[in-house]
Every structure is written in C-alpha cells, then in structure tokens.
Amino acid sequence: MIEPLPKSRIDGAAFWLDKNSPVIVLSLRYDRIDWFWFTLAHELQHIKFGDKRSVDTNLVGETRLAALNDMEDRANKEGAAFLLPPENLESFVIRSKPFYHKQMIVQFAKRMGVHPGIVNGQLQHLHEIGWEYNREMLVKVRDFVTATALTDGWGKQTSQFLTTKNTNNN
C-alpha cells in the first residue's frame, strides 16, 4: 500500500519481479470499502492472466475512464465478477429496479457474503443508483488495511517495516 501521489489519480498497479513473484500495489486513493475491494480484485486479475505490467488510474467513481483497452476491460469485468457473480447482480437489478431500498441492498449483500458497500459500489458503477446514494455503506478501510499491510506513507516507512521484519526472522 502506498500513500497516493498528489494529483496522480493512480489507483493501483500490478507487475512481476520475476516469473514467480507478482506484486500488487494499491494507493488507497479513496478510503472506501467498494474502492479497495474492486481495485484489489482488478489488480489480481492482471496477475491471474499474466499481464506484464499495469498502472491503473481512475478505476472507480464518476471520473472513471470509459474507453479501456482489452486488458483493462477484462480486468474490470473479471474483478467485478470476483466480488459478485454477474448473474446474481443482474437478477438483483431486475427484481429491485427502480427501487433500491437500503434494506434490499443489505439483504442481497448478506446473501452474497459481501459487505453492502460492495453491492452499492457495483450499483453505482452500473448507473443503477447515483454516486451520492448510500454513502454510509461505503465505510472507510484505510486504518484497517494499513495496520496490517506493507505500507509506505501515512507515517509508516516501508524500509523500517522491512528492517523490523528481517530482524525478527533471523
């Protein structure tokens, strides 16, 4: 996890150190559960398909990129499907449209075994609900993630973490 670079709009990156060592980097540009899980799922798809390198910007939200190359389009579709099976989400949309009551979203999320913020984010992405709807479902995750992940920024330095880890492993 890296602290976002000012004005960069970089959400994540995926690349390989060597043929057996994939790396995924997330910026946590948006401190929201839907953003975190979608971006992680998107980057995991780059690794799954052996994409050599990807630096992703504007993956979610109102400013997300509409025109994508095939690799990015595949990572978006597969990443979304990793979080919610498309046939289940489509069925929910058909049954619920146009009234997406909060309780319906919560019940569907529970049935799918995901946080309601992930369902809400998917509905926003599909333009089924506006970006301003159910903002309380898009809970903050940065403190949870940075407390346990390898990070650079937010007051923690990667080199200090690695030094501590290496010392403890010797």
Does residue 160 register a pLDDT over 70?
no
pLDDT at 66: 56
Nearest Cα to 41, choosing from 19, 60, 62? 60
Model confidence at 97, pLDDT cuts 50, 70, 90, reads confident
Q: Are 100 and 128 in contact (CB under 8 A)?
A: yes
**Mean pLDDT across 5-25:** 87
**Mean pLDDT across 138-160:** 75
Does residue 134 register a pLDDT over 90?
yes
Nearest Cα to 14, choosing from 71, 68, 41, 52? 52
